[in-house]
Homo-oligomer: A and B are copies of this chain.
Amino acid sequence: MSKPAFIAGDWGTSRLRLYLCDTAGTVLARGEGEGAAVPDCGARFAAAALPWDKAHGVLPAILSGMVGSTIGWREVPYLKCPARPETIAAAALRFEAAGRAIAILPGLSCRGKTGAPDVMRGEETQILGALRLHSQLAKGRHVFCLPGTHAKWAVVSDGAVTQFQTALSGELYELLRRHSVLVRDGGEVDAQNPAFTLGLDFARSNRKADLLHLLFSARSRVVTGEMAKGDAASYLSGLILGKDIATAQSLLDLTGSVQLICTPALAALYGKALNAYDIESAVIDGDRAALAGLVHAHAEIFS
C-alpha cells in the first residue's frame, strides 16, 4: 500500500463521504458520516479521522460542500462566477484544527439568466473533478447538469464556470410524493414506464403552461380512469424532469451533449428525459467527480 498523504471530504447537507488518499489521489480507505446540517462538524470530523490519525499520523484535509456554509464548520464566502479551477482552489479557507491543516473549498455565486442571484456549494468541486477526469471538457463550451434535491445547470467555457441556475426538481418531487394527495399510492418511479414518457410529452407539448397548471393532471388522469394509480409517481417524475429540461433549454443553449454528473439512477432518468427533448447526454459518476475535484484541489493547495 502506498503512503497515505491526505484526507478528502465530500461533505453535503445530509452526508459526509471521507477518503484517505495517497499523493496521487488513489483511495486507500473510505469513511462515512452525518451531513453538515448536524451541529459540531469540527468534533465530528476529529472523531471520524481518529483511527487514521492513530495509524498514519495527523494528515491534512481538504473538504467541500455545505461544510463551508453558515450552518457548517466555518463559513467560506461564495466565489463569484466566472470561476476557474485554480481560482476556486486559491479561494479555499485554510485553518488549523487540533494540529491538522484544513482547507474548505468555497461555493460559487452568480447572477442567473433569470436575473436572480444563484448559489452552489459542492457542485463546483464535482465540475472541477469532471474537468480533470475528461480533459476535453476543459476546452470549449459545455453544459453540465447535476440532478438532485436542488438540481444545478452550469455552463463551463474553456474550463471556467461562467453561469449556472438551480432547479428545485428533486425537492419538489419528494415533497409532492410524500405529502400531496396527487400521487397517493403512486408506485415507484420507473423510466421504462410509459407514464414517465407521458409526463415528459405532456410537459413538452405545454411549453406555455407552468408546472403549477400541469401537476393536477397526475391526479385527474387517475380520477377519470385514464391512468392507473400506480403509474402516478412515474408520470409526476416525467412531468417535473420535462419542465426542468424545457426551461434549461429555453434559458441556456443546450446544443451539443449535456454532461450529467450524478448517481446511475438519476442518470437513467435524466438521460431518457433529455433524449425525449432530442438532447444528447454523457454521464459522469457524481461521487467519482467529487473525489477527483478534491484530489485536484489538494494538489493545488498543499503541494
User: Footprint of B on A, CB under 8 Å?
Assistant: 78, 109, 112-119, 150, 165-169, 171-172, 175-176, 178-180, 182, 202, 205-206, 208-217, 220-221, 223-224, 226, 240, 243-244, 246-248, 250-251
With A166-B220, A176-B175, A208-B251 known to touch, is A214 a contact of B119 (CB < 8 Å)?
A: no
Whether A114 pairs with B167 at a CB distance below 8 angstroms is no
Tell me the number of copies of this protein.
2
Nearest opposing residue in chain B for A175, CB measure: B175
Closest 6 CB pairs of A and B: A116-B217, A166-B216, A117-B224, A210-B247, A168-B215, A208-B250
- Bound together, the chains give a CA A240 to CA B165 distance in angstroms of 19
With A119-B223, A180-B171 known to touch, is A247 a contact of B213 (CB < 8 Å)?
A: yes
Nearest opposing residue in chain B for A176, CB measure: B175
Whether A167 pairs with B216 at a CB distance below 8 angstroms is yes
Name the B residues within 8 Å of A247 (CB-CB). 208-210, 212-213
Tell me the smallest distance from the CB of A166 to a CB of chain B, in Å. 4
Whether B210 pairs with A116 at a CB distance below 8 angstroms is no
- Bound together, the chains give a CA A246 to CA B202 distance in angstroms of 19
- Bound together, the chains give a CA A178 to CA B180 distance in angstroms of 12
